[in-house]
């Protein structure tokens, strides 16, 4: 039987690893055709500043259009609403009754397959085709075993191992003014620039104008870590990204220029920016969400009885990928296995670090330590 690879996704934007994975799937399966189909609204994940349907379709045509046998479809975009795979696959089977449909997806998608809408309907007409990413080998094998146990049939897998590349990270880079060259096809990158696909809003614009380049890169790291913690722990992903974006927005500003900003007496100088950042976020940039403002206000010191978002921003600031202090890898491991323990370990490490430096320890940090750990 002839084979068709179905590759659906947000593609916001479609990056070079998407292209490499699809090419590998075509070669390894011997499939004659592939359908790339951007979703209108993805039902399984929250999105941040998602590009328009028109722009995502345009980027997909530039990214995949020159691959032999590949067609880019706008069926889900024209349908509107949430894009459910069981409906799409059913329609594809009607269009291509003589083809075996292979549904290309990553490890995370396959591991959550049982939570999809009508997964058994999908399996009547298609077989999942797994492509792992770097570092996913153990997870891949377990996911395939779990899938067979739950559904009583095998998913297929290709041998190609994809590199770690994130559409969200690329999008945030562009909005922060960081180069994404080498991660996107040149034609896609030009399309994004020419059509202002990911314009910097007032929050991104403020950060770009008021933070040094190294600090902007740190901010990106905190945003990505906060996003992951939020996703894993049931917090609002978009709120986590915005709080992380603005957490250091007061770093290079002077309190004297913001007379309404109140800083508690005796606050150590390295801590002042958390209060100034919260003030700027609320009073200058117009952020009205109290939880976001609170997370910014205590992201350096922590405090007693923090919200989940507050803990996420504090921990992400401590553990983002740019941090290289001794023991940070172990702290990351703890936080990904058990976030609350990771937060507490990060809080203890923060207190230890400040104490060893000879600098004064903020009373808020002492109280937070006593509240959560002692």
CATH of the domain at 249: 1.10.3210.10
CATH classification at residue 157: 3.40.50.620
The strand ranges marked E within 164-275 are none
Q: Per-residue pLDDT averaged across 185-210, rounded?
A: 96
Domain termination residue (choose one: 166, 187, 210): 166
- Residue 46's pLDDT is 61
- Find the domain containing 262 and state its range: 200-372
State whether 226 and 315 are in the same domain. yes
State whether 160 and 211 are in the same domain. no
For the chain, the domain total comes to: 2
State whether 155 and 222 are in the same domain. no
CA 129 distance to own-chain centroid: 23
State whether 117 and 238 are in the same domain. no
- Residue 140's pLDDT is 86
Evaluate whether residue 26 is within a structural domain: yes
- Residue 22's pLDDT is 97
CA distances to 38, 296, 308 from 340, rounded to whole Å, are 36, 19, 9
Q: Per-residue pLDDT averaged across 315-326, rounded?
A: 97
Beta bridge partners of 181: 184
- Rounded Cα–Cα distance for residues 341 and 9 (Å): 34
Q: Are 31 and 7 in contact (CB under 8 A)?
A: no
Q: Are 225 and 328 in contact (CB under 8 A)?
A: no
- Rounded Cα–Cα distance for residues 251 and 123 (Å): 52
pLDDT band at 323 (very low <50, low <70, confident <90, very high): very high
Whether 83 has a pLDDT exceeding 90, the answer reads no
Evaluate whether residue 180 is within a structural domain: no
Evaluate whether residue 308 is within a structural domain: yes
pLDDT for 206-247, tens place per residue? Answer: 999 999 999 999 999 999 999 999 999 999 999 999 999 999
- Rounded Cα–Cα distance for residues 38 and 300 (Å): 40
Evaluate whether residue 172 is within a structural domain: no
Evaluate whether residue 187 is within a structural domain: no
Query: Can you tell me whether residue 10 is helix, strand or coil?
Result: coil
Evaluate whether residue 194 is within a structural domain: no
> pTM of the predicted model, to two decimals?
0.90
State whether 103 and 207 are in the same domain. no
Evaluate whether residue 314 is within a structural domain: yes
State whether 226 and 122 are in the same domain. no
């Amino acid at each position: 039987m002839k084979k068709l690879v179905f590759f659906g996704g947000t593609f916001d934007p479609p990056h070079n690893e998407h292209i490499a994975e699809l090419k590998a799937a075509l070669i390894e399966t011997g499939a004659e055709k592939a359908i790339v189909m951007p979703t209108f609204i993805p039902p399984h994940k929250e999105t941040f500043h998602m590009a328009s349907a028109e722009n995502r379709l345009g980027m997909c045509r530039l990214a995949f259009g020159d691959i032999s046998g590949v067609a880019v479809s706008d069926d889900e975009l024209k349908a509107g609403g949430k894009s459910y795979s069981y409906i799409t696959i059913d329609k594809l089977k009607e269009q291509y009754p003589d083809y075996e449909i292979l549904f290309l997806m990553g490890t995370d998608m396959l591991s959550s397959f049982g939570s999809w809408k009508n997964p058994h309907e999908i399996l009547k007409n298609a077989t999942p085709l797994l492509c792992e990413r770097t570092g996913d080998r153990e997870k891949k094998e377990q996911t395939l075993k779990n899938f067979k146990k739950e559904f009583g049939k095998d998913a297929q897998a290709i041998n190609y191992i994809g590199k770690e590349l994130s559409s969200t990270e690329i999008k945030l880079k562009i909005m922060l003014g960081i180069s994404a060259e080498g991660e996107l096809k040149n034609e896609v990158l030009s399309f994004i620039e020419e059509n202002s696909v990911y314009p910097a809003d007032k929050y991104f614009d403020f950060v770009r104008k008021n933070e040094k380049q190294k600090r902007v890169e740190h901010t990106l790291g905190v945003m990505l870590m906060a996003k992951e913690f939020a996703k894993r722990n049931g917090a609002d992903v978009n709120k986590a990204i915005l709080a992380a974006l603005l957490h250091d927005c007061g770093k290079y500003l002077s309190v004297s220029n913001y007379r309404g900003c109140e800083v508690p007496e005796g606050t150590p100088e390295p801590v002042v920016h958390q209060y100034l950042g919260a003030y700027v976020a609320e009073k200058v940039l117009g952020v009205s969400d109290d939880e976001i403002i609170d997370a910014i206000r205590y992201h350096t010191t922590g405090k007693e009885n923090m919200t989940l978002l507050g803990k996420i921003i504090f921990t992400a600031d401590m553990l983002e990928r740019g941090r290289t202090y001794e023991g940070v890898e172990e702290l990351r491991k703890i936080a990904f296995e058990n976030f609350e323990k990771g937060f507490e370990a990060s809080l203890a490490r923060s207190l230890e670090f400040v104490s060893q430096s000879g600098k004064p320890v903020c009373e808020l940090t002492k109280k937070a330590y006593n509240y959560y750990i002692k």
